[in-house]
Chain A
Amino acid sequence: MGPLIPQEIIGADWNLFIAFIIGIGFGFVLEQAGFSSSRKLAGMFYGYDTVVLKVFFTAAITAMLGLLFFSLFGWIDLNLVYVNPTFLGSAIVGGIIMGAGFIIGGFCPGTSVCAAAIGKIDAMVFIGGIFLGIFVFAEAFPLIKDFYMSGSFGGLKVPEVFGISSGVFAFLVIIAALIMFKLGELAEKKWPREEY
Chain B
Amino acid sequence: MTVKNIVFIGMLFLGVVIAMVPENTTKPYKLTAEAMLVEVQGAAEMVSADDVAHWVISKDPSLQLIDVRTPDEFDKYHLEGAINIPLSVILRDEYRDYLDQGVKMNVLYSNGTLISHQAWMILRQLGFKNNYVLQGGLNYWFDTIMNPQEPSTLAANEEFAKYDFRKAASSALGGGGAVALTAPTQTQAEKPKVVRTKKKKAPQGGC
Chain A residues with a Cβ under 8 A of chain B = 61, 65, 68-69, 71-72, 74, 76-78, 165-168, 170-171, 173-175, 177-178, 181
* A177 → B minimal CB distance (Å): 8
User: Is A61 within 8 A of B19, CB to CB?
Assistant: no
Given known A-B contacts A167-B19, A170-B19, A181 and B8 have beta carbons under 8 A apart: yes
> B174 near A: Cβ within 8 Å?
no
Chain B residues with a Cβ under 8 A of chain A = 8, 11-12, 14-16, 18-21, 23-27
User: Is A65 within 8 A of B15, CB to CB?
Assistant: yes
Which chain A residues lie closer than 8 Å to B15 at the CB level? 65, 170-171, 173-175
| Residue on B nearest A76 in the bound complex, by CB | B26
| Residue on B nearest A71 in the bound complex, by CB | B26
User: Is A74 within 8 A of B27, CB to CB?
Assistant: yes
User: Is A168 within 8 A of B19, CB to CB?
Assistant: yes
Overall SS of chain A's interface: helix
| Residue on A nearest B18 in the bound complex, by CB | A167
User: Is A178 within 8 A of B25, CB to CB?
Assistant: no
User: Is A171 within 8 A of B26, CB to CB?
Assistant: no
User: Is B26 within 8 A of A174, CB to CB?
Assistant: no
Once the chains are docked, how many angstroms separate the CA of A61 from the CA of B18?
12
Given known A-B contacts A61-B11, A178-B11, A178-B12, A170 and B18 have beta carbons under 8 A apart: yes
Which chain A residues lie closer than 8 Å to B11 at the CB level? 61, 65, 174, 177-178
Once the chains are docked, how many angstroms separate the CA of A156 from the CA of B20?
23
Once the chains are docked, how many angstroms separate the CA of A76 from the CA of B26?
7
User: Is A77 within 8 A of B18, CB to CB?
Assistant: no
Residue in A167, A168, A170, A181 whose Cβ sees the most chain B Cβ within 10 Å: A167
Once the chains are docked, how many angstroms separate the CA of A178 from the CA of B4?
11
* A81 → B minimal CB distance (Å): 11
Q: List 28 A-B contacts (CB under 8 A).
A: A61-B11, A65-B14, A65-B15, A65-B18, A68-B18, A69-B14, A71-B24, A71-B26, A72-B18, A72-B21, A78-B26, A165-B23, A167-B18, A167-B19, A167-B20, A167-B21, A167-B23, A168-B19, A170-B15, A170-B18, A170-B19, A171-B15, A171-B19, A174-B12, A174-B14, A174-B15, A175-B12, A181-B8
Residue in B16, B18, B20, B25 whose Cβ sees the most chain A Cβ within 10 Å: B18
Which chain A residues lie closer than 8 Å to B27 at the CB level? 74
Once the chains are docked, how many angstroms separate the CA of A61 from the CA of B8?
11
Which chain A residues lie closer than 8 Å to B16 at the CB level? 171
Once the chains are docked, how many angstroms separate the CA of A71 from the CA of B11?
18
* A119 → B minimal CB distance (Å): 32
Which chain B residues lie closer than 8 Å to A68 at the CB level? 18
Which chain B residues lie closer than 8 Å to A61 at the CB level? 11
Which chain B residues lie closer than 8 Å to A165 at the CB level? 19, 23
* A98 → B minimal CB distance (Å): 27
Which chain A residues lie closer than 8 Å to B26 at the CB level? 71, 74, 76-78
Once the chains are docked, how many angstroms separate the CA of A61 from the CA of B15?
9
Once the chains are docked, how many angstroms separate the CA of A175 from the CA of B14?
11
Which chain B residues lie closer than 8 Å to A69 at the CB level? 14, 18
User: Is A71 within 8 A of B25, CB to CB?
Assistant: yes
Once the chains are docked, how many angstroms separate the CA of A65 from the CA of B13?
11
| Residue on A nearest B7 in the bound complex, by CB | A58
| Residue on B nearest A61 in the bound complex, by CB | B11
Which chain A residues lie closer than 8 Å to B14 at the CB level? 65, 69, 174
Once the chains are docked, how many angstroms separate the CA of A74 from the CA of B24?
9
Residue in B12, B14, B21 whose Cβ sees the most chain A Cβ within 10 Å: B14
